[in-house]
Amino acid sequence: MKFKNILLVEEAPLATLTINRPDKLNALNKATIAELHQAFTALDANPEIRVILLTGKGGKAFVAGADISEFAHFSVKEGTALAAGGQEKLFDLVENLGTPVIAAVNGYALGGGLELAMACHFRVASHNARLGLPEVSLGVIPGYGGTQRLPQLVGKGRAFEMIMTGGMIEAEKGLEYGLVNDVVALEELMPHAKKVALKIANNSPVAVRYAIKAVNAGFKYDKDGFKTEINAFGECFGTEDFKEGTTAFLEKRKAKFPGA
Ligand code: COA
């Protein structure tokens, strides 16, 4: 498999996927999502790979969000398709993958980055990790499952505070919230994640696959929150607030929201 935006290292029974756009803080563009889809699908079909680790290149970011420059000019229709396509291709794929996926969060995990980490089966973080869903500061809402998975992991009140303030929490707070399972020094992050992964790899892959299915089944609700999220995310693309929020980010200035 040849990739441009990600690195894949296979050391059976483990495989490590590293998002490799450090000069853009590993922001998730369309090409990266497509490559991750391809890599996860192929690794899941390889019986020698028992656990997949997901991290970001460099010591600064896991993933600083969806690539704002790619969607700043999108229409409502394109915005809706962006969320729906991304959820299907990557976020739902990872959550429901039969091979366990551990996110090793090595810096900023913001917006789509935190959403990607939350789609993984669990997360470990380094001390410098910063976690947040800043979308409302751009005039949009989380569109890759964040409004659903954050409350599942941290509870509704904490999720509302994080989503409404758009602020970042430190790794230690993430630990207190149960958003990450462990916090270690940056240089210890991958060794630690691999140690945990190897414990999983000793167990029955068939049983682990069934366990993932059973745990996830408990989080399927009658009302489809993910669908509501996709539609609401799309609606944001028709607002002046969204135009102002994304333009301000790209122009490196503070947004002044008209509120319409
Ligand atoms: N999409 C596109 N580009 C991004 C990005 C994103 N989500 N996050 C960072 N980048 C780019 C920056 O534009 C910059 O590119 P440039 O060097 O070509 O100008 C580069 O990555 C480095 O980021 P910079 O902002 O200069 O780093 P910083 O250390 O000053 O700030 C952050 C780090 C994470 C606080 C800041 O980059 C940020 O707020 N990013 C956006 C987070 C966000 O809103 N994510 C949700 C998207 S839905």
Model pLDDT for residues 149-193, shown as the tens digit of each residue: 999 999 999 999 999 999 999 999 999 999 999 999 999 999 999
Distance CA 31, CA 10 (A): 21
In angstroms, the CA 177 to CA 158 distance is: 8
User: At 257, is the pLDDT very low, low, confident or very high (cuts 50, 70, 90)?
Assistant: very high
* For ligand 1, mutation pick of 23, 24, 25 (most atoms within 8 Å of CB): 25
Q: What is the DSSP string of 2-52?
A: --SSEEEEEETTEEEEEE--GGGTT-B-HHHHHHHHHHHHHHHT-TT--EE
Per-residue pLDDT for 222 more than 90?
no
What does pTM read for this prediction? 0.96
Mean pLDDT score, 132-161: 98
Question: Pick the residue with more confidence: 134 or 221?
Answer: 134
| The architecture CATH gives domain 6-201 | Alpha-Beta Complex (3.90)
Average pLDDT, the chain: 97
Q: Between the CA of residue 69 and those of 18, 58, 65, 72, 231, what are the distances in Å?
A: 22, 21, 11, 6, 21
Please indicate whether residue 229 is annotated as part of the active site. Answer: no
Angstrom CA distances, 85 to 31, 79, 144, 260, stand at 13, 10, 9, 26
Q: What pLDDT does 224 receive?
A: 87
Instruction: Assess whether 240 carries a catalytic annotation.
Output: no
Mean pLDDT of 33-55: 98
Q: Decide: 134 in ligand 1 pocket, CB within 6 A.
A: yes
- Nearest-CA residue for atom 45 of ligand 1: 65
Residue nearest to atom 39 of ligand 1 (CA): 64
Say yes or no to pLDDT of 125 above 70.
yes
223 has a pLDDT exceeding 70? no
| pLDDT attached to residue 2 | 87
Distance from the alpha carbon of residue 58 to the mean position of ligand 1, in angstroms? 14
- In this prediction, residue 56 carries a pLDDT of 98
- Predicted confidence at residue 29, as pLDDT, reads 97
Residue 21: which residues within 8 A CB-CB, separation 6 or more? 5, 27, 29, 32, 57
* Spacing, Cα 5 to ligand 1 middle (Å): 17
Percent residues over pLDDT 70 in the chain: 99
Q: How much is the pLDDT for 9?
A: 98
Show the tokens assigned to 248.
């301000």
The ligand 1 atom nearest the CA atom of 137:
44
Distance 248 CA to ligand 1 centre (A): 12
Average pLDDT for 59-65: 97
64 lines ligand 1 (CB under 6 A): yes
C-alpha dihedral (59, 61, 62, 65), degrees to nearest 10: -170
Catalytic choice (115, 187, 188, 235): 115
Ligand 1 centroid to 205 CA: how many Å? Answer: 38
pLDDT classification of 110: cutoffs 50, 70, 90: very high
- State residue 181's pLDDT score: 98
> What's residue 220's pLDDT?
79
63-102 pLDDT, tens per residue? 999 999 999 999 999 999 999 999 999 999 999 999 999 9
* Integer Cα distance of 54 and 181 in angstroms: 15
